[in-house]
Structure 1
Amino acid sequence: MPSLTTIAFDADDTLWVNEPIFTDTRLKFEAILSAYMTIDSGLEKELYAVEIRNLQLFGYGIKGFTLSMIETALELTDYALKGRDVERIIRLGKEMLQHPVQVLPGVEEVLDELENHYRLMVITKGDLWDQENKIARSNLDRYFSAVEIVSEKDTATYAALLKRHQLTENELLMVGNSLKSDIIPLLDLGAQAIHIPFHDTWAHEQLGSAQINGYKFPRLTSISELPGWLKENAGYRA
């Protein structure tokens, strides 16, 4: 990887904790609905189906998730959901938006080391205000020369970002936890990507082996391994 100049990082569940906040909120959502119905595994599937149905309208992020919880609750209770419980669901969304940003272990140390050798970027998707707010509250923004918040992370989006930042495919390395959003689109473009799995991943971001297109790519157990991997495989830029 002698031409590598730029490392781009996914944000949610790569730089800081995200999906566990959604998981915890889903459990609180189930508790609210338990007053109306027997809770089983079908509730999570119903909520997920509504989320996916609404993606084209609301996009990714907490606000769309909150609206999808309300819509799911109304449908499953046959519109018997009480106003105070609608308010409780809205409050869940507000709590998510105000949740402290928990930077993952090793992230700051790795960024502190790599900023001396590479140009560092963030490429993340979701609600613009929420993502900007999390980046600011994380105190990591000082490491990044560019922050790109996009509505989708696919080959077309990445190709446009490469053009905007005047990068060739060989000059960019993407680091993230989602095979669907952070790894496969880059490999489809002929670029480079490193997968760092996270223990809690939204179903929409998961891919089966048949969807990986036979690609082979580096997989690290934590971000702390990234500098060592770069030294061995890319060499540090002076």
Structure 2
Amino acid sequence: MPITTIAFDADDTLWQNEQFFRITEQRFADLLAPYTDAPDLNDRLIASVTKNLSFYGFGMKGFALSMVETALDVTDHRVPGTVIAEILAAGRELLSYPIETLPYVDQALGRLQETHRLILVTKGDVFDQERKLAASGLADYFAAIEIVADKNPATYARIFARHTDGPDRTVMVGNSLRSDILPPLAAGSYAIYVPHDLTWSYEHAEEPVNEPRYARISHLGELADAIARLEAVR
């Protein structure tokens, strides 16, 4: 019973994403520099984003609203309306950055599409994720696309039941231990971790230890061999 389905994360697994949020964070700090000397400005922004996940979800919109909330908070509501407008504009710019696929993506998807069912499992704002997928040119590789509000074991169980031959014949591939690795393992599938140089602190977690259904690779060019190794120990 070989692995028949490969599920992929999107942001920072197939294309660059976090680097544009880092650029926006720096723009945010520059805009507020004349109005606050808070040494923990970035930490307060990330805390606001994390707190607001249950209200706004993941993605650009929640990030932009959290920047506004943080700006008001750290300046005791003294920040000018013109600066708030520039902060919102910086948030909108997240929708205009070019989509840059990561190394080996096309080669890996093209090769594995011939032998496996490929599906995409990404979280965030539907409009933004659909825009990035269309701009990437990768949509045709996938037999199914799931854009979800969050990634947890129940989410993966539902997706595996709908699109795969079962979790025990599915592997999830992604750059986030918290979202792409631990939940699908808990749902009964295999998981392959592809670290990215930039990963949001919220997504950090400890790697699985002594887990035969888990593997780590350096880039997607190593994916086919990693899957073969996982199948060998089934």
The reply to whether TM is greater than 0.5 is: yes
Aligned to 1:110: 108
Deviation at 1:124, TM superposition (A): 0.4
SS in 2 for 1:3: coil
Once the two structures are superposed, the pairs formed by residues 97-136 of structure 1 within 5 Å of their partners are: 97-136=95-134
* Mapped contact 2:144–2:163 kept (Cα < 8 A): no
SS in 1 for 2:216: coil
Residue 29 (structure 1) aligned with residue 28 (structure 2) = yes
For residues 174-233 of structure 1, give each alpha carbon's deviation from its aligned partner in whole angstroms, at most 9, with x where no partner exists: 000000000011111221000000011101100146xx4764621001111112323454
For residues 29-67 of structure 1, give each alpha carbon's deviation from its aligned partner in whole angstroms, at most 9, with x where no partner exists: 000010111252x11111111111111110000010000
Residue 229 (structure 1) aligned with residue 226 (structure 2) = yes
Query: 2:168 and 2:181 mapped to 1: Cα distance?
Result: 14
Once the two structures are superposed, the pairs formed by residues 37-56 of structure 1 within 5 Å of their partners are: 37-40=36-39, 42-56=40-54
Query: 1:202 and 1:232 mapped to 2: Cα distance?
Result: 29
Aligned to 2:11: 12
Query: 1:5 and 1:186 mapped to 2: Cα distance?
Result: 15
Kindly tell me: are residues 156 and 232 of structure 1, through their superposed partners in 2, closer, same or farther at Cα, counting changes over 3 Å? Answer: closer
Kindly tell me: are residues 81 and 214 of structure 1, through their superposed partners in 2, closer, same or farther at Cα, counting changes over 3 Å? Answer: farther
For residues 139-161 of structure 1, give each alpha carbon's deviation from its aligned partner in whole angstroms, at most 9, with x where no partner exists: 00010111100001000101111
Once the two structures are superposed, the pairs formed by residues 34-113 of structure 1 within 5 Å of their partners are: 34-40=33-39, 42-113=40-111
For residues 112-148 of structure 1, give each alpha carbon's deviation from its aligned partner in whole angstroms, at most 9, with x where no partner exists: 1111000101000000000011000000001011110
- One-letter code aligned to 1:201: T
Percent same amino acid among aligned pairs?
42
* Mapped contact 1:3–1:170 kept (Cα < 8 A): no
Gaps of 5+ in 1: none
Query: 2:142 and 2:96 mapped to 1: Cα distance?
Result: 23
Deviation at 1:83, TM superposition (A): 1.1
Q: Which stretch shifts more, 164-173 or 72-81?
A: 164-173
Aligned to 2:144: 146
* Mapped contact 2:5–2:164 kept (Cα < 8 A): no
SS in 2 for 1:94: helix
- One-letter code aligned to 2:217: L
Kindly tell me: are residues 213 and 54 of structure 1, through their superposed partners in 2, closer, same or farther at Cα, counting changes over 3 Å? Answer: farther
- Could you tell me the TM-score, scaled by structure 2's length? 0.94
Residue 218 (structure 1) aligned with residue 215 (structure 2) = yes
- One-letter code aligned to 1:172: T
SS in 2 for 1:97: coil
Query: 2:151 and 2:196 mapped to 1: Cα distance?
Result: 18
Deviation at 1:166, TM superposition (A): 4.9
Query: 2:230 and 2:93 mapped to 1: Cα distance?
Result: 42
* Mapped contact 2:215–2:226 kept (Cα < 8 A): no
